[in-house]
Structure 1
Amino acid sequence: MASDLAAFRGMERHLRGEPDQADYLIDLSNIVRETALGGDTRRSLDRLRLVLAALCRTTGDPDVTVHAIADNSLLDRRYDDEFPHPGEPGLLREWRDRGLIAAIGKADPDLLDHAKVFGTPVVSSDNFTGHRGDHPWIQGDREHFLRPERPARGGPVRLVRRDMRVVADREISREGERDDLKARNLMLGGRPRADILERSWRCPRQACNPGPAIRGGKVVCRSHGTLLADAGPRRPRLQLKILVDGQCQAWENLAEDEGREFALGRGHLARIDPELLAERRRLAVSRHHLVIVAHRGTLRVLDTSKGRSRIRTLRPGGAASPWRTLPHRDDLPAGRTDVARYGGFGPDDEIELVPGVVLRRSGQRWPGERAEGVRARPPRRPGKEDELTRTD
């Protein structure tokens, strides 16, 4: 495999520091680490050379241009010995300093933002599963992603247009959580750090519901960097997602306690910006719209709204099932509250509260202690009639 730095410098004519000046976007960390492209080292700049050559052949343009984005970790000096030639990581850092490539903490969000804004194709082997909640346009896309492949029988690297397929909602949530845990150093050997995640933590900052992170071997608050105190075992939780017109606008976590009722209603929509959810639709949701109960490892749900909610099952890669009505409180025999009469709320189900406002289950296994990432104003303090949970 070539390690000639002069040949690598010849790639500079293809590099563009601004995404709007490039014909293609390159997931640089993914390409440099893609061992299937050849070479016996964990990282190799020659893999970028092979991909650029494949782009020239595919487009018929010897001067094709790319905007390459890397994670900062690719340029970290601690991993220089993973390259076959000691000059390769130094050349990458030189390109960064000269503005020929971009290097940021996490490349994927910028890469996908550029692809969305400019419509530029992305060269990567990554499925971007955890990012599909923020970028639903990836689901089923067949135009904007190319994967580099090296034929098993030998020959030059080629670029294959990808079918990104439709990934199940729970898988998107699960992968997004894994990305988040990795960023907080809470993954060890490819597994979540259960010893940390199964504990509750207390931050010295008032009114902080901390998300733990590992820094310098210590458990700290990811927001403030302060040391956290162990507050005992963490109660198992499930996460629900509230979508408005197909976009997730809020999360709600509920304790996974056998038989405990969780009443979801209008108060849970208070955080969502009125520009995203008009008052008319907000008021169409009852104060106590649904009752959700954890029952024998499953979720059961009862419609308690003034109107009628409905449920359907999403089939990954296929059409959703027909809508069906939920069991309603008014349909139960007088005095009967048998949970077995409630409807099932499975991992692939979605419940329509009112048209355009949908509730889904998240695939996260370790949801935060509060609704992380709610992109709206802080919630108002609910009135007594708007209590968000009840245990009676």
Structure 2
Amino acid sequence: MSDFLTADIDRADALIDLSNVVLERSLGGSGAADLLRLERVGRALSALYGSSETRMYGVADESLIRRNLYADVRQFRALRRWRAERVIHVAPDADPVLLELADQTGLPIITGDRFRNHRDDFPWLDGSDDAVLEPRAGAGGGVSLSHVVVHPVLDWEVSRAEESDLLKQKGVRARQGLLTRIWGCPEPRCPWHDPLRTGLMFVPRWYRDRLYCDLHDLDVVDLGPRPRAAQVKVISNGAEVARFPVRAGERVKVGRSPGGFVLTPWLSAATRLKVSREHLALELAGDRLVFTDSSRNGTTVVNAEGIRRKVHRTSAPFGYKSRLEVVPGLELIRSGRRYPSELQIDRAVATAAEPPPEATVSY
């Protein structure tokens, strides 16, 4: 199987996202992970380029090497040997490495991923039709490779993908109920020792039935339920300039008046006159974020299809795919982040430990 791989990127015909390919069950094999999928993709690359000498430069997430997900333990040993012999490149997060290499070499990446969480750092991805080669299962167990168009994504999708990627790295993506709790590190010098005091939340690592701080390798302490919150981004002329949380039980005022979230830094002399001191307010109502306009001129809601609707002196839901236009060029959007790794919290909101909730509320 390693015959399709090369450690010399100058000899490579493509980059391969090993974790994505090896874990993709539709490509055949058995078990959660199977190196047979790598071999089939290698054959598909040879068929695509019409050469038996094609090679791939492999990059893998560290989690693929850390856990034995293989029906045949010899495959797990082979992967660890490839790492030791530098046959493959192993990184905590393979995606940035793959994209940097693709940017530098022009090689396509073999993956089923669309890299939604890296569009800001690699803007050339948007609209690209030669950056990604997607493996697709065919009849009789065969695999083919096809160039796909990497379509632009909405800002909230980028944020949600970033969060999913973080959970994957920490090993807790399948255990998101853990993220309804506040966790602290027992080490007093750790920046995450007392999140209730510092106001910073973090995602602990889960491995082999342990939930621990990967900075100090100590089991974390459950400090109680995590307050529900939604993140909002401020977009000025198409660029993110700030973000702020809306926590359960809070009413966040937005406008020119001190005491809420102040928009004045991004207002010109002309637009400043169109924004009220308390232009609108945001709050969580059950499992939804809603806004209430209280301005002179109203707030425009722009939905995913671009349809605009003026809201004046009334309340309306504020969903992920919507934008709130305060004035032309200044908007509020939802971040899409359901479990931020760092979330400002209030000591008064975080109470003593309670039993974990049965279900996780998503925002």
Normalising by structure 2, we get a TM-score of 0.71
SS at match of 1:30: helix
Counterparts of 1:116 and 1:357, CA distance in 2: 32
Counterparts of 2:104 and 2:344, CA distance in 1: 28
Q: List alignment gaps of at least 5 residues for structure 1.
A: 1-7, 271-277, 333-340, 373-392
1:149 aligns with 2:141: no
Aligned counterpart, 1:388: none
Structure 1 pair 139–269 and aligned structure 2 pair: CA distance change class (3 A): farther
Question: Per-residue CA shift, 1:79-111, capped at 9, x if unaligned?
Answer: 2x826472x444444443443421112212322
Greater mean alpha carbon deviation, residues 61-70 or residues 211-220: 211-220
1:234 aligns with 2:226: yes
Alignment of 1:1-392 (within 5 A): 8-12=1-5, 15-18=6-9, 22-76=12-66, 79=68, 82=70, 84=72, 86=74, 88-132=75-119, 138=125, 141-152=128-139, 154=140, 156-165=142-151, 169-187=155-173, 190-193=174-177, 196-201=178-183, 203-204=192-193, 207=198, 209-214=200-205, 220=212, 229-248=221-240, 250-257=242-249, 260-265=250-255, 288-295=278-285, 297-303=287-293, 310-315=300-305, 320-321=306-307, 323-327=308-312, 332=313, 341-368=314-341, 370=343
Counterparts of 1:140 and 1:174, CA distance in 2: 20
Structure 1 pair 201–279 and aligned structure 2 pair: CA distance change class (3 A): same
Structure 1 pair 355–23 and aligned structure 2 pair: CA distance change class (3 A): farther
Structure 1 pair 26–291 and aligned structure 2 pair: CA distance change class (3 A): same
Counterparts of 1:261 and 1:234, CA distance in 2: 18
Counterparts of 1:255 and 1:49, CA distance in 2: 49
Is the Cα contact below 8 Å between 2:4 and 2:55 reproduced in 1? no
Is the Cα contact below 8 Å between 1:27 and 1:69 reproduced in 2? yes
Is the Cα contact below 8 Å between 2:279 and 2:294 reproduced in 1? yes
Report % sequence identity: 30
| Paired residues, number | 329
Counterparts of 2:214 and 2:326, CA distance in 1: 34
Counterparts of 1:248 and 1:119, CA distance in 2: 29
**Cα distance, 1:351 vs structure 2:** 2.0
The residue type paired with residue 237 of structure 1 is A
The residue type paired with residue 301 of structure 2 is I
The residue type paired with residue 364 of structure 1 is R
**Cα distance, 1:364 vs structure 2:** 3.1
Q: CA RMSD in A?
A: 4.0
Greater mean alpha carbon deviation, residues 50-59 or residues 346-355: 346-355
The residue type paired with residue 48 of structure 1 is L
Q: List alignment gaps of at least 5 residues for structure 2.
A: 185-191, 346-363
**Cα distance, 1:233 vs structure 2:** 3.1
Normalising by structure 1, we get a TM-score of 0.67
